[in-house]
Structure formats: C-alpha cells, structure tokens
Amino acid sequence: MPQGEKFLARLELSLFWLKRLCVLVGSLALVVLVATFGWLVFGRYVLNETPTWVEQLALVLICYITFLGAAVGIHEQTHLGVTLVRDALPPKLRQLLLLMTDLCLAVFGGVMLVASLELFQFGWSTLLPMLNIPESIRTASAVACGGLMVIFAGARFILRGRSALRGEIYENEKVI
C-alpha cells in the first residue's frame, strides 16, 4: 500500500474513533442528565428539599449533548439538508456540490470555533449559579463542536477532493 493510501486509511480510522469518542461523551452526559433529574424528583417529592443545582447542570449537559451530537451528524452526513436537487444531478456535478458542501461546513465550523473561543475567554471569570464553576465550561461544548466540524468536514473535503482528482466518486466513506 502506498504511503498516501496508508495516511488516508489512518485518517479515516482516526476520524471514526474521534466520532465514537463524541458519541461516548454525549451518551455519558445523557445518562448523568437522566440521573440528576431522578435525583431532582426524589429530592422534591421524597425528601421535600429540591436540589437547586440540577437545572444549571442540566443546561451544561444539554449543551454538550447537542453540540457533540451536531459534530457527529457532520461526520455521518446526517445533518438536515434538502437532497432532491443534489440527487437528481449527474455524478460529477453531485460530487462538486458535495465538495462545496464540505467546504462550507468546514468554514462554518471555523467561524463557530473562533466566535466560541471569544465567548469562552469572556465567560471564564463568571461563575455559573449553583454550580460555582466558570461559565466557560458550558461554552467549551461550542468550541469543541466548531473544532470537530472543521476536522470532520475538512477531512471529508480532502478525501472527496482526492477522489475527484482521480476520477472517482467519494460518498459516505466509500469510493465508487
């Protein structure tokens, strides 16, 4: 196997494991979210003492679940899109449109990364009520999502562009 092929195979494998890590972290956050709401119900109705920190923790966890899920959606190409026109195009034009979509998603992720980093820096000195942790912990999920979007869409742009240069069509992690 040529050196370039080995690199691309390792890249795809690395992206796969990065996606799996995002799914794992998002899943763990969902389990913690359900457990904390169970504690909220138990505290409110059994102990007659409502834990006030649950709402703030839930907001943090929902941010991580949502943003990591969005990044995984970029990797798996399950983000919302109207594909009627794209699917009706000939394969070469479809390939060009998919390349442009990957590029736009990577650029959007880059803009999101930069804007989220500004929010992250701005919120570091502010504490979340009830949790007493920096507000930037919540914003870190958006930073991660922007970075992951750049990685996932940018890598797919490179892989798809390489296939296009070779006269092949790259769709859904396979070369046709």
Cβ contact 86:100 at 8 Å: no
Residue the block writes with tokens 């109705």? 45
The predicted structure's pLDDT at residue 84: 82
What is the structure's pLDDT at 5?
Answer: 79
Stated pTM of the model: 0.88
Of the chain, the end-to-end C-alpha distance in Å amounts to 19
Backbone phi and psi for residue 96, each to the nearest 5 degrees, phi listed first: -65, -45
Q: What is the pLDDT, as a whole number, of residue 171?
A: 61
For 172, phi then psi, to 5°, come to 50, 55
Residue segments in the chain with a per-residue pLDDT below the cut of 70: 1, 170-176
Cα–Cα distance for residue pair 143/84, rounded to 1 Å: 32
